[in-house]
Amino acid sequence: MKCPFCDFVDTKVIDSRLGKEGNNIRRRRECVECGRRFTTYERVEETLPLVVKKDGRREAFDRLKIIGGMQRACEKRPVSIATIEKAVDRLELMMQESGEKEVDSSRIGAAVMEALHGIDEVAYVRFASVYRQFKDINEFMAELKDLLARGENKGDSEGGR
């Protein structure tokens, strides 16, 4: 493993532990050259479908890209990175279990919006405004009205608060 500080290619593992969720291994490493320590994570490489973009291009499913988009939507909101990572874990699992070789980016975007709707409604609106590329304020307001209506229906199903 290459050292992120001095680029030396020889490091030694000091400690290995199973990750919190049990789906990765956390390793503390020390560079043989500069002596600095850093952490790496090892996880199973799973087969995920290719993402078909709107313009027809195909690219690999990128977990970090989805996490980044969700983090931007949740900026300055009371949403932890652990909550975002769990949502992306569920999305990844859904993609793997589908067994499909390719999936439209629109399906991934819709799944992210659905996850954000359950996590934080402000983050949901932020993501939706970028993802859906509202053409004017009327489209944006229609989405907000839909969100409010769903919230009212949710309250009715929970005993009408």
Residue 108 makes CB contacts below 8 A (sequence gap 6+) with 51, 61, 66, 91, 95
Same domain, 84 and 149: yes
Confidence of residue 159 (pLDDT cuts 50, 70, 90): very low
Same domain, 113 and 81: yes
Same domain, 92 and 61: yes
Q: pTM for this structure?
A: 0.60
Same domain, 75 and 132: yes
**pLDDT the model gives residue 6:** 96
Same domain, 54 and 74: yes
Whether 53 has a pLDDT exceeding 90, the answer reads yes
Residue span of the structural domain in which 79 resides = 50-157
pLDDT in tens, 128-158: 877 777 777 777 788 778 777 776 665 544 4
Q: Is the dihedral of CA 75, 54, 92, 1 positive or negative?
A: negative
Same domain, 16 and 86: no
Count other Cβ atoms within 10 Å, centred on residue 54: 9
Total domains, the chain: 2
